[in-house]
Chain A
Amino acid sequence: DQQVKQNSPSLSVQEGRISILNCDYTNSMFDYFLWYKKYPAEGPTFLISISSIKDKNEDGRFTVFLNKSAKHLSLHIVPSQPGDSAVYFCAAPHNQGGKLIFGQGTELSVKP
């Protein structure tokens, strides 16, 4: 049972435009969500997180929105830059001792 889902395996965006990456979850007990960015052959880099008591968290060009009723979150990157091209994973902590449940990832390509 995939509790965190990223239904778009890839996304292509023009430089300067907005990138919107989506994530859905099924477990209503999840109360915290994280986004990671991963370049090939490197470890994931923590980007931004959001607690379920909020519906928005912003950090520079990155904003995460949470819609609890729809069990949906999204990561907005604006303006998108070629260096943002990477695989993005959303994740949620399982209630069992720090285990993160990851989505399958979305590969973002930002074209100059």
Chain B
Amino acid sequence: DTEVTQTPKHLVMGMTNKKSLKCEQHMGHRAMYWYKQKAKKPPELMFVYSYEKLSINESVPSRFSPECPNSSLLNLHLHALQPEDSALYLCASSQEGTGGGYEQYFGPGTRLTVT
């Protein structure tokens, strides 16, 4: 089973709203990732959690706040977003963040629209 699940599938939010994206995997993977993807572009890495600790933050604005409650769950808290933050937000997981197990398995994504 290589399934990563994400909720919600679609989200529309105003610039003053607070919302959260959720991601779950049950493959025993110890690394989890948040990506942002705009149309016709490759995924753009935002955050990496390795063994439930934040290991990479790609200089993401503080209006995006990641959280890893346990090894299976990953959240992305959103606050005061801008219209240009509208994109497909992808969660991924891999066996381990360093060394072997490079294959990252992606969820279906959350299509976010900021109005």
Contact = CB atoms under 8 A, between A and B. Distances in A.
Interface of A: 32, 34, 36, 41-46, 49, 87, 89, 91, 93, 96-100, 102-105, 107
B33 interface: yes
B106 A43 contact: yes
Given A41-B88, A104-B42, A98 B108 contact: no
B55 to A, nearest CB: 5
A42 B42 contact: no
Nearest to B6: A43
Interface string B91-105: 010101110001111
A93 B102 contact: yes
A42 B105 contact: no
Nearest to B43: A102
Interface of B: 2, 4, 6, 31, 33, 40-43, 45, 48, 50, 55-56, 88, 90, 92, 94, 96-98, 102-109, 111
Contacts of A99: 45, 48, 56
Nearest to B98: A97
25 contacts: A36-B106, A42-B108, A43-B4, A43-B90, A43-B92, A43-B106, A46-B2, A46-B106, A89-B42, A89-B43, A93-B102, A96-B56, A97-B48, A97-B50, A97-B56, A98-B31, A98-B48, A98-B96, A98-B97, A98-B102, A99-B56, A100-B43, A100-B45, A100-B102, A107-B40
A100 B104 contact: yes
A39 to B, nearest CB: 10
Nearest to A87: B40
Contacts of B48: 97-99
Nearest to A46: B103
A107 B108 CA distance: 19
Contacts of A41: 88, 109, 111
Given A97-B56, A103-B42, A49 B102 contact: yes
